[in-house]
Chains A and B, each alone.
Chain A
Amino acid sequence: MAGSRVIVVGAGPAGVRAAEILAEAGLAPIVINEGSRDGGQIYRRQPDNFSRPPSKLYGTEAAKATALHAAFDGLRRRVDYRPDTLAWNVTPGVLHTVHHGQTQDIPFDALIVCSGATDRLMPVKGWNLSGTYSLGAAQIALKAQAVSIGRRVAFLGTGPLLYLVASQYQAAGAEVAGVFDTSPFALRVKALPKLLARPAVLAKGLALVAKLKRAGIPVETGVTPVEIAGTPDAGVSGLVLRDRAGRVREIACDAVALGYHLRPETQLADLARCDFAFDAESRQWLPTIDADGRSSVPGVYLAGDGARILGADGAEAAGALAALAALRDLGHDVADGRIDALRRDCARMDRFRRGLVEAFPWPAANAAALPDETVVCRCEAITAGELRRVARAMGATEANRAKAFSRVGMGRCQGRYCGQAGAEIIAAAIDTPVESVGRLRGQAPVKPFSLSATPLADQKGTEQGTPA
């Protein structure tokens, strides 16, 4: 009970709210965070010697950002905060961490994983050219470093973040070449009933688009990406796309921010051996959770964008809810009313999430249509043609046993950025449903790191490379 060892991974909105509930209950949770500062992605904090005010950094969300930062600052003496620490593996009852090259294994009674999301990426010919960044990267450059990823930036992909980041660039004085959305506008209308689950968020989204248009920035929907143009040595020089009217055009730019909404970071859940299920709406594998964030493994809880892309408010609610579930499972008294209210919040957020998936769908057909010479795996320059050859040579049955996949999951990013498109390419090549080609499993270490001066002196400098 009071002596229970609870670990929270992540200090974004979900992790902070989870830690807060645990501290309130008198537990002193360990909070593991890869970054040096709390806030997570959306409320990412800038370095200490930067001076932009919260209103400039977080716009309409400034009050929420400051509240979350203040909440965590207030917790610092009641939680064991471990920044710059990567949780790199989970084995039964033990979280494996590394901090500045020093590893530590921490036993737990409950583990709440709030690992957030990364951009969901659809390759396009030329996306391996320098100057192509993930949409999230474009935002991090601006938020955390006050720089633009280029002189003239085109935003390509789909999802609400596409418009948000473009408008943040415009407001910060960067030149925006345009916002090019693969989703047709009609889908947004169709998704309205679900999007109305959060009218205020919907209104903010509409205001963003209006603001971009007022600023004279081209905003196009229903486009098909053709190619990011440029040369291997100079990088990006333009974006070629087929517009809604079927015309192929090139937009001059020296940087492309590319993103198709988000995908949960589920490696730790995978390593903890949590069950996953295929979510047909978003066409991706998600860890199975109950309404409160319990995974299929007792003692392991999943919350925030790392489980479902509910957005920042949803992450706060889900983090709190998962912590209450953990407390209850550890034998603490938790009032039903608190849980019920948070469940209602999360259900509303989930309805909105499904609206976003409907309005800004993952363009699976684009993967199937990628020209053979397109690099799919940026890490090791594996092309769509190579993947198709491997899948076809193997035959549908074997590829269904997920072997065809291994080629695209072996690079530096461990398949984070090519895995989902790779599955679509393989599935289309052998004419089988995407869920039947399986999925890439999270592998330890979840990210490569170097060991230094560990108690085992002979390990100095040993690489923990990306596993095969």
Chain B
Amino acid sequence: MHRDPDGSDRVGPDAGPPRHPRFVRLDETGRTPVRFTIDGRAATALEGDTLLVALLSNGAALRRSEFGDGVRAGFCLMGACQDCWVWTSDGGRLRACSTSVADGLSIATEQPEASWPVLA
């Protein structure tokens, strides 16, 4: 089992570098690399990846549940559950499972300038 030494999956701007990808690539690894950032840190994915796959190939979660029950990493992968919302650094909301990763994309795993309690 893979686990951070401190047992945490890192999301959020202060969480340090993302570790331990949740997803495992099984095939199609020869595609062109795509460079983007997650909470300001450089990350690499492959052309054709959804943003969800790009993020979970770099770390173990997408965001923190606004209801205090931990981190989230998507659920349905088909645009039906809305568990996979992340933000661009300028505040736009993206549904990670139905968005393609793109060169230069800058992703925030917390809603910029929003405070979670507002949503709770």
Closest chain B CB from A287 CB (angstroms): 18
Contacts of B83 in A (CB 8 A): 378-379, 412-413
Please measure, in the bound complex, the distance between the C-alpha atom of A378 and the C-alpha atom of B61, giving whole angstroms: 15
Residue of A nearest to B94 (CB): A450
Closest chain A CB from B84 CB (angstroms): 10
Closest chain B CB from A122 CB (angstroms): 14
Please measure, in the bound complex, the distance between the C-alpha atom of A132 and the C-alpha atom of B77, giving whole angstroms: 12
Q: Is the CB of A146 within 8 A of B69?
A: no
Contacts of A417 in B (CB 8 A): 75-76, 80-81
Interface string of A21-44 (1 = CB under 8 A from B): 000000000000011000001000
Closest chain A CB from B36 CB (angstroms): 16
Q: Is the CB of A147 within 8 A of B23?
A: yes
User: Residue A128 contacts which of B1, B22, B69, B85 (CB distance < 8 angstroms)?
Assistant: B69
Please measure, in the bound complex, the distance between the C-alpha atom of A379 and the C-alpha atom of B120, giving whole angstroms: 11
Q: A167 on the interface (CB 8 Å rule)?
A: no
* Residues 136-151 of A contacting B (Cβ, < 8 Å): 136-137, 140-142, 144-151
User: Residue B80 contacts which of A147, A173, A413, A466 (CB distance < 8 angstroms)?
Assistant: A413
Closest chain A CB from B17 CB (angstroms): 16
* Residues 56-88 of B contacting A (Cβ, < 8 Å): 57, 60-61, 65, 67-83, 85
Please measure, in the bound complex, the distance between the C-alpha atom of A32 and the C-alpha atom of B4, giving whole angstroms: 44
The count of residues in chain A whose C-beta lies closer than 8 Å to any C-beta of chain B is 61
Q: Is the CB of A234 within 8 A of B9?
A: yes
Q: A462 on the interface (CB 8 Å rule)?
A: no
Q: A83 on the interface (CB 8 Å rule)?
A: no
Q: B118 on the interface (CB 8 Å rule)?
A: no
21 residue pairs of the A-B complex, CB under 8 angstroms, read A48-B48, A133-B74, A137-B76, A137-B77, A141-B77, A145-B28, A145-B48, A146-B26, A148-B23, A148-B24, A152-B1, A172-B27, A173-B26, A173-B27, A234-B60, A235-B71, A378-B83, A412-B81, A413-B80, A417-B75, A448-B82
